Amino acid sequence: MSRINVLFIGFMLFSLFFGAGNLIFPPLLGWESGDNFGPAITGFLITGVLLPFLAVMAVALEDNGLISMGSRVHHIFGIGFAIIIYLSIGAFYGIPRASSVAYELGFQQIFKIDGRWGVLYFH
């Protein structure tokens, strides 16, 4: 693999995993942890850095990706596992999160509709 490919893949992974939560959460974690900063930052590094890194490495080292990884159990499980993972990343988590941010910071500030009707109208 050429250096330019490694550079592009590195930037792609950085942009994939780095978001506002990675910028805001660690200082908030440090502030709220008080005297328990060591265990708090250790837990954050394990769950926010090590586990995603291991997941990317596991999928990258597998010959045929995520479906092949799940197919070790059963071929139907492999397909279902991949579908659930992809839906949980996008449709079940990412899209509602982005939509709620747009609603709170845009729509609700302009139209001042309280209650559930505003959310229903927005969607």
Burial class, 61, CB count within 10 angstroms (exposed 0-12 / middle 13-18 / buried 19+): exposed
pLDDT tens, per residue, the chain with 123 residues: 789 998 998 888 888 777 766 777 778 878 888 889 899 889 988 988 899 889 888 888 888 888 888 888 999 998 998 899 889 888 888 788 778 778 778 887 887 777 777 777 776
Centre a 10 Å sphere on the Cβ of residue 18 and count the other Cβ atoms it contains: 10
Question: pTM to 2 decimals?
Answer: 0.62
As a whole number of angstroms, the distance between CA 112 and CA 9 comes to 43
What is residue 47's DSSP assignment? I
Task: Give the phi and the psi of residue 74 in degrees, each rounded to 5.
Answer: -165, 150
**Joined tokens for residue 6:** 């490694």
Phi, psi of 115 (to 5 degrees): 85, -170
pLDDT the model gives residue 111: 79
Domain boundaries, the chain: 1-61, 66-123
